[in-house]
Amino acid sequence: VEIAVRPLARTPITPNHLTTARLGTGLAAAAMYSIGQDFWTYFASGAFVLSIILDRADGALARLSSKTSLWGHKYDLLSDAICNSLMFVGIGIGLRESDLGLWAVPLGILAGLSVAAILFLVILAEGHNGIRAAELKGTKGIDPDDAILLVPVAMVIGWGYYLIVAAAIGALFFSLFFYWKFRNILFTTFRFKK
């Protein structure tokens, strides 16, 4: 991604422009997934892959152009939370005609809310302990958040049913893990003073 954005470092395009494009393509993907038809699922998957690429590109451009900022980082995290959460909600709505029936909708909402909770806890942890304080380290160039790339693949090959069940369960447990890991920060942040 860094090679692709290098020419943008000398243009008026900012990392926040790319984050906004990421937000737009992510919202479009969520809306297309909610239609629940194969034709739209393919377009949604393409839009979501583009959204993921733009998510990586904004950080690369920020570093290359020396335009990193705390606000830009928070905007990036907020965009991630909105896109990834609503994408699961959209998938759940789109699967309402599957074997899951209307159960797909609350499963999508549960997965979406769990993803939003994880990113909320990340923002709190970073506000308390500094940027990247809640980052999970990857191995061999693969970060844990790269798993989001499995979503469009699963949708294109027709595994949406399994994806939404796994996402609802997995994201819920992962949000509970993050809650447990950062509970002291959460209590400190929201403790009422006498």
pLDDT at 169: 97
pLDDT by residue for the chain (194 residues), tens only, comes to 889 999 999 899 999 999 999 999 999 999 999 999 999 999 999 999 999 999 999 999 999 999 999 899 999 999 999 999 999 999 999 999 999 999 999 999 999 999 999 988 888 888 877 776 677 676 676 667 788 999 999 999 999 999 999 999 999 999 999 888 888 877 776 665 44
What 3 state SS string does the chain have?
Answer: CHHHHHHHHHCCCCHHHHHHHHHHHHHHHHHHHHHCCHHHHHHHHHHHHHHHHHHHHHHHHHHHCCCCCHHHHHHHHHHHHHHHHHHHHHHHHHHHHCCCHHHHHHHHHHHHHHHHHHHHHHHHHHHHHCCCCCCCCCECCECHHHHHHHHHHHHHCCCHHHHHHHHHHHHHHHHHHHHHHCHHHHHHHHCCCC
pLDDT at 183: 81
pLDDT at 190: 66
